[in-house]
Each structure stands twice: as C-alpha cells, then as structure tokens.
Amino acid sequence: MTAIAESAAGQGLCSCHVCNLVSRRERVSGPAHCPRCGASLHFRKPGSVARCWALLMAAYILYVPANLLTIMETGSLFSYRKDTIISGVVELWKTGSWVIAVIVFIASITIPLLKLISLTLLLVSVQRRSRWRPRQRTRLYRLVELVGRWSMLDIYVVTLLAALVRFGAVATVKAGPGALAFGAVVVLTMLASMQFDPRLIWDPLQKERNP
Amino acid sequence: MAQHSAQLIACHYCDLLQREIPLKKGRSASCSRCGAVLYRNATDSIDRTLAYTLAAAVLLVIANVFPIFAIEVQESSSAINLFGAVRSLWEQQMQIISLLVFLTTILIPALELITMIWLLLPLKFRRVPVGHTFILRMMRIVKPWGMVEVLLLGMLVSLVKLTSSFKVIPGVALWSFGGLTLLLAAVAASFSVRDVWVRLDRKPAAEVAA
C-alpha cells in the first residue's frame, strides 16, 4: 500500500462505511451523504464513546444475574438440579466431557468477560487520548468483534434441550431466568462493540503529527 | 462524484488514507498502519458468491424443514426441527429468548441469502439491481446477527449432553446445518463489496458501448 501518512478525516475526507468510497465533505457540520451510495457519512461514529459506555454499563449490570440465576433446570425420576452457567460447566467437567466443558467455558465465561474488560480498556484509553500501543488496541477490538457472537452458544443449547427433553416426570429440561439475562448480556456487548469507533484509537497520534 | 479521490481508500479501523494498488487474484491488501484487511481481489467474486448463495439457500430450507435430532426414552420419543424448538420455547413463557433464537438462526440467515441473491443475480446478467444501495446498507446491518455457525456448535454440545441419558438419533437437519455453515463461510470469503461497485460503476459505460 502507498500510505499518505495521514488520516482521511485530517484531510477533510470521509470514507463511506457501506461502499468504501472516499469523498470530500462539502460542509464540516450537518448531515452528509455518500455521493455514490447515499449512505450517511460521518468522520467518526456519532456519540460513539457515550453510547458504547451506556450499553457496556447495562451489560455489566445484567452480567450479575446472568451468572447468579439458574440458566437451566433439569428434572428426572431420580434427580432434580438447577444449573447456573458455571455449575453447568463444572458438571460437564465432572461427567468426563472435557472437550465440551472447555468449549462451553470459553464461549460462556471467557468471551463475555473478555468483551467487557476489553471494551472498558478501549473506552478508557480513548477518553484519556492515550497513545499506548494503538496497533495492539486495534487488534484487540477486532478480536472482540470476531469472537463476540460465540457466547450465544449456551442460549442455543438451552433452547434445543428445553424443546426436546419434555417427558413429564421421566425427564424434563426447562430454561431458567438466567438465560434471559445472559442473552441480554450477549446482545448488549455486541451492540456496544458496534458503537465503538476504532479510529478514535488513532486520532491522538494524528494530532501529534499535524498540529 | 469526486473523481480525484477514485483510487483513495481509508482504513475502516484507523482511518489512514492510502492509495489502492492492483492485486493479484486471490490476494488481499492490508492497512500499512494497523494491519486490517482493506480489500481483496477475490477470484470471480460475483459468480462464485452467487453459486455458494444458491446452494446455501437450498440447504437452509432443508435444515429448517427436517428434524435436527430425535431422542428415545422408555418407548416414547421426541424429535424437533429448529422452528419447533423456537415455538416450544415461546410456549414455555420464554418469548424473548425464543425471538432471539428465531432472529439469529432463521430470519437473519434467510434475509442474508435473499439480499445476496437480489443483489448478485441481476449483476450476473449485467443489470442494475433494484434498490441496490438499500440492499447493501441492509446487508451490513444484518450480517453480524446471523449465527448459524454458533447454532451448529450448540447442536453438537446438546448432542453430547443428551447422549449421557438418552438414545439420540441425528436427523437430516444436523448435517444440513453443517453444510450450511461451510457454504455461508464460502459466501463471506468470496463476496467483495468492491467488486460489486466496480460492476455498478462500469454499468453506464457498458450501456453506451452496447
């Protein structure tokens, strides 16, 4: 690539998020549209940091019930148990399904935590106009974007089991209220990561070069 | 349209302004500052993507009609397909979760394939798709919410959990979802918005020539 060593915004140019066309904005303020595809143009996503914080806070709050409440109730002739996400993983490990236990652990515990912590780190660093390791922080953001969806795993497992195992007193699986909170955490963190604008990571460096 | 900026590209991750360079088939260009992929020169992007999409559409129908798996316990058995599972959850007073599963595994994957066919089929025959700008915008919004590959992993986890207490019979839809996941990955890998716009921008010139 031939780099021009400057951000598009620094040149008054705006790139379209739908068709990638780089165009000059006639007016600095007010609404603008892509000359090729008509999508609305912004130098940076509007209200990115505030919206991302709001969604992230909501996710943090719901993360507590998501982990404390029952996600799945299993009843049979001989036993009855209520599982939270963590006890579900422990149970899988104990019964010898190690591979599945590790997969569920990564999808349901590691990934949501990774998303919450990473987005907090990214938001704080952007607000402090940090110039610390922008490349790594951008990579972290791409990772969050990429793996976020996989935490839906537990929701699907509960759905399938609750629909299939319905033999009354012999064996029954029911979805618990924890599933609702957990699903909300997944959706909220996905929305939060979509609101975050990674170009904000690079803006402090740009100002340095072009005062 | 700003002609002077035709070969300029700005990285979506760090906003670095760069000039496009020609690429060999199948190669991709990445941002010189943050390393994000800027664009790819996908081989026969429109033809291949269309082929994968049509195949995926057939599998999507099969995957939604046939049962995923069945279990047997004490003479009684139970089988479900995906929509049955969604409906069952709705009846168990978990409407929001049911809706979430319906959106991410049935409606959005179907929408993804429909918009792709709507866009690419006319392009294949050198026509401009009706409402292409709206379609492209919708595709971008919808894309992160299609989660067929996660559902497939969920099916496999459920399968393992079920085998400890029941006799499990895998159904046609299980294999179809496997195939669908692969085809959707192929669609994502071969589709290039850039190629679509190259075709759309060239359209007026082609009309004049004809």
Among A159, A185, A206, which would you mutate to test the B interface (most chain B Cβ atoms within 10 Å of its Cβ)?
A159
Report which listed range, A18-27, B49-58, B194-203, is most confident: B49-58
Cβ contact, residue pair B33, A153, below 8 Å: no
Same-domain status, B6 and B65? no
**Residue spans in chain A of domains classed CATH 1.20.140:** 47-209
Among B1, B9, B17, B191, which would you mutate to test the A interface (most chain A Cβ atoms within 10 Å of its Cβ)?
B17
Closest residue to B36, CB basis, from A36, A142, A164? A142
Report which listed range, A55-64, A168-177, B3-12, B72-81, is most confident: A55-64
Q: Which of B187, B87, B152 is nearest to A149 (CA)?
A: B152
In order of A46, A157, A187, B105, B162, the CA distances from A179 in angstroms are 32, 10, 12, 17, 19
Same-domain status, B65 and B146? yes
* pLDDT number for residue A102: 95
List chain A residues with CB under 8 Å of B37: none
* pLDDT number for residue B122: 94
Nearest CA of chain B to the CA of A92: how many Å? 8
Domain count across chain B: 2
Q: How far apart are CA B90 and CA B103, in angstroms?
A: 13
Instruction: Determine contact, residues B142/B115, Cβ cutoff 8 Å.
Output: yes
Closest residue to A104, CB basis, from B12, B100, B157? B157
**Token pair belonging to B42:** 């996908």
Q: How far apart are CA B66 and CA B60, in angstroms?
A: 10
* pLDDT number for residue B111: 96
Domain containing B86 equals 44-209
Give the pLDDT band of residue B51 (cuts 50, 70, 90). Answer: very high
Of A203-207, B56-60, B86-90, B92-96, the range with the lowest mean pLDDT is A203-207
Q: How far apart are CA A178 and CA A86, in angstroms?
A: 12
Residue B44: count other Cβ atoms within 10 Å of its Cβ.
12
Q: Environment class of residue B193 by beta-carbon count within 10 Å: exposed (0-12), middle (13-18) or buried (19+)?
A: middle
* pLDDT number for residue B2: 42
* pLDDT number for residue B208: 42
Same-domain status, B26 and B57? no
Task: Enumerate residues 6+ apart whose C-beta is below 8 A from A168.
Answer: none
Same-domain status, B34 and B56? no
CATH, domain range A47-209: 1.20.140
pLDDT in tens, A142-160: 999 999 999 999 999 999 9
Average per-residue pLDDT in chain A? 90
Same-domain status, B118 and B50? yes
* pLDDT number for residue A38: 87
* pLDDT number for residue A1: 47
* DSSP letters for B49-70: HHHHHHHHHHHHHHHHHS-SEE
Same-domain status, B90 and B13? no
Q: Which residue of B has its CA nearest to A95?
A: B164
Nearest CA of chain B to the CA of A134: how many Å? 8
Report which listed range, A153-162, B3-12, B18-27, is most confident: A153-162
Same-domain status, B201 and B113? yes
* DSSP letters for B87-113: HHHHHTT-HHHHHHHHIIIIIHHHHHH
